Amino acid sequence: MISTNYNPSVLTTQRNLNLASFSLNTALERMSTGYKVNCAADDAAGMCVSSSLNIKIRGLSQAQKNLADGISLIQTADGSLSNMSDILNRLRDLAVQGANGVYDSSSLNAMQSEADSLTAQLNQVKDGTIFNGLSVFDGSATPPPNGSNGSGGAVSGDFINSVTRLSEDEAIAQGYTLIKTADDLNNIRNNLSGKYILMNDIDLSSYANWDPIGDFASNTGFTGTLDGNGYVVKNLTINRPTEDGVGLFALIGDANTMSGGEVINLGLENVDIEGNMATGGLAGTSAGNITNCYIQGNIKGNGGYTGGLVGYLVNGSVYKSSSTANITGNGTYTGGLIGMNASGKILNSYATGFVVGNAEGTGGLVGNNYGGTISYSYATGLIQGTTEVGGLVGQNMAGAKLENSIWDTQTTGQNAAYGFDDGLSTFNNNNGLTTSQMKDPTNWTGWDDTIWDFSSYPPKLKGQSNSQSDDNSQNAIRLQIGEDEKSTSCIYLETYFSLDGFSVDFSTSESCASAIDDIDELLSKINEKRADFGAVLNRLSSIADSQVTAIENFTGAKSTIMDADIANESADFVKNQILQQTSSALLAQSQNLHASIVLSLIG
């Protein structure tokens, strides 16, 4: 049918002309912007994925700058420590010279004058180490999240409120041996099956490197009873990085029967402990019962099984006890309270310390819960680990039980209760809560309010305070090394360093000889701090390399989605340009042809 109103060839040509024009404009837009996705309509899913990738790329790019700042900070601190070492080496030369008894008082006075000047310079270097307005060594940095700075713990004045103290006469009548001094506590090792009780706080500052009570190597443990009587053991220092079974006790209990031994009503404050395998504040290993005890300070284990209270708990129990200590484990199984719980029981206890595990199995409470039971306990400290990391437990194995326990998902940085489970464990009513949820007493339903005080956050055991001390050595600088808020995206760098009132006396040859040891001790301390900085520096360098690779991969993925193929777009542009011109010419011819046919029929 030939019609004056309907010309199908014209409409078809017009439709194709519009398509060619639209495609031509699309090709022009893509070539001019370089992107094939210029709006959500181009590729809605691709736009969404690309936006997520772009966020990661930008975050990682800023993290790279943060890493550079962190590296600069460490290099600044290390450079100052190097200068301090040079000063100390000169002081040591003077001390060795003065120890030779051939100098008169005038010569020794000259040496003392130089030594005083060098000591003043030593303090000036330390105090004058500033980075971006931050005094690096004075501990004025930002502490880790709530409860994770390890400086908290029970204050003895509050602790005694939960303990009915025995008088000396009452203790003697009940068969106790009284402990009044550090030497009395040390003498426990002479009778490991005795019954002991503290009569006042014990300061162990006089023991520069405490020898753990008992013998881990020969499986000789403390099988008696130690009643802290509501008192505190302070300033426990142990530096045995290659020794196994490290703590106030090497071993509590009988290693053969896996039982015996009891420690109750005892606080440990300001501990500084480093051991190898099985390292804890109270005990390296325990098969006994620990009740109403707490610990605060710093603990480091190099060979596995590192915990705040006990490194390795086997068949024993921990009840109404806590740790606010900073924990660093360089071997397997690191926990805020217990490193390895082998068939032991943990009830009504908590850990709020900063936990760093550099091998498998890291948990806020326990590194490896092997057939053990954990009930009505919680964790709130920041947790950083490599693999198998959980808010409560790193690993659950061999029929372990984890029940009615809680962790703070925000402060721990962990969303899961455990990092690994072998499928044989029992889980019941464990809750990961936000900080605001943990502050709500209704979320602690079923917990014994005769034991727990929910009036503060985090909850405390009645009679044991969660207050934080003013120990600046627990402060750390937060280094944001990732693109998000996860615990794996930040590390804490402890930069605090103290000279502990260092001074030297060169008045006699004997005092010069004595100064040599003091200088060597401080040099060793500086070398250890430099080694720590070096380890972190290597870690940051490794992270920087990983981030470069990640940014490259994310950018490549984004390019695949977003970037236009200019060769293809150029070909499309030429093709659609030809189609547009052809369609325009054909449109004109179709109109003329149709018009001539209609007019010829009419004429």
Per-residue pLDDT band for 597 (boundaries 50, 70, 90) equals: low
Comparing 131-140, 145-154, 319-328, the range with the smallest average pLDDT is 145-154
CA distance 188 to 193: 9
Q: For the chain, what is the mean pLDDT?
A: 84
CA distance 148 to 253: 30
What CATH number was assigned to the domain covering residues 156-473?
2.160.20.110
**587 vs 73, more confident:** 73
Report yes or no: 289 and 315 within 8 Å, Cβ to Cβ: no
Give the pLDDT mean for 414-425.
Answer: 92
What pLDDT digit, counting tens, does each position of 94-142 carry? 999 999 989 998 999 999 999 999 998 998 898 888 888 778 887 544 4
Q: What is the pLDDT of residue 579?
A: 67
- Compute the 3-state secondary structure of the chain and give helix, strand, coil in percent, each to the nearest 5: 40, 25, 35
Comparing 118-127, 286-295, 328-337, the range with the smallest average pLDDT is 118-127
Q: Does the pLDDT of residue 148 top 50, yes or no? A: no
Give the pLDDT mean for 280-304.
Answer: 94
CA distance 310 to 280: 4
Q: Give the CB-side neighbour count of residue 411, counting CA atoms within 13 A.
A: 30
Give the pLDDT mean for 418-443.
Answer: 90
What pLDDT digit, counting tens, does each position of 20-79 carry? 667 667 777 777 777 777 777 777 787 788 888 888 888 888 888 888 888 998 999 999
Q: What is the pLDDT of residue 594?
A: 56
CA 62, 535, 125: angle at the middle one, nearest 5?
Answer: 90
What pLDDT digit, counting tens, does each position of 163-191 carry? 788 999 999 999 999 999 999 999 999 99
Task: Decide if domain 47-142+475-558 falls under CATH 1.10.260.40.
Answer: no
Task: Please give the share of the chain, as a percent, with pLDDT higher than 70.
Answer: 85
Q: Give the CB-side neighbour count of residue 582, counting CA atoms within 13 A.
A: 10
Comparing 33-37, 236-240, 329-333, the range with the smallest average pLDDT is 33-37
Q: What is the pLDDT of residue 114?
A: 93
CA distance 484 to 24: 42
Give the pLDDT mean for 148-168.
Answer: 55
Comparing 30-44, 255-269, 301-315, the range with the smallest average pLDDT is 30-44
Q: Does the pLDDT of residue 537 top 50, yes or no? A: yes
Task: Provide the whole-model pTM.
Answer: 0.58
Q: Does the pLDDT of residue 545 top 70, yes or no? A: yes
Query: φ and ψ at 172, to 5 degrees?
Result: -65, -40
Task: Please give the share of the chain, as a percent, with pLDDT higher than 90.
Answer: 51
Per-residue pLDDT band for 591 (boundaries 50, 70, 90) equals: low
Q: What is the pLDDT of residue 468?
A: 37
Per-residue pLDDT band for 150 (boundaries 50, 70, 90) equals: very low
Q: What is the pLDDT of residue 348?
A: 95
Give the pLDDT mean for 320-347.
Answer: 95
CA 309, 311, 317: angle at the middle one, nearest 5?
Answer: 65
Q: What is the pLDDT of residue 369?
A: 96
CA distance 487 to 380: 13
Q: What is the pLDDT of residue 228?
A: 94
Query: φ and ψ at 164, to 5 degrees?
Result: -85, 100
Do the bridges between strand 130-131 and strand 134-135 make them parallel or antiparallel, or are there none, so unpaired? antiparallel
Q: What is the pLDDT of residue 592?
A: 62
Q: What is the pLDDT of residue 463?
A: 65
Q: What is the pLDDT of residue 467?
A: 38
DSSP of 25-50:
HHHHHHHHHSBS--STTT-HHHHHHH
Give the pLDDT mean for 482-486.
Answer: 72
Q: What is the pLDDT of residue 142?
A: 43
Q: What is the pLDDT of residue 598?
A: 58
CA 54, 57, 59: angle at the middle one, nearest 5?
Answer: 105
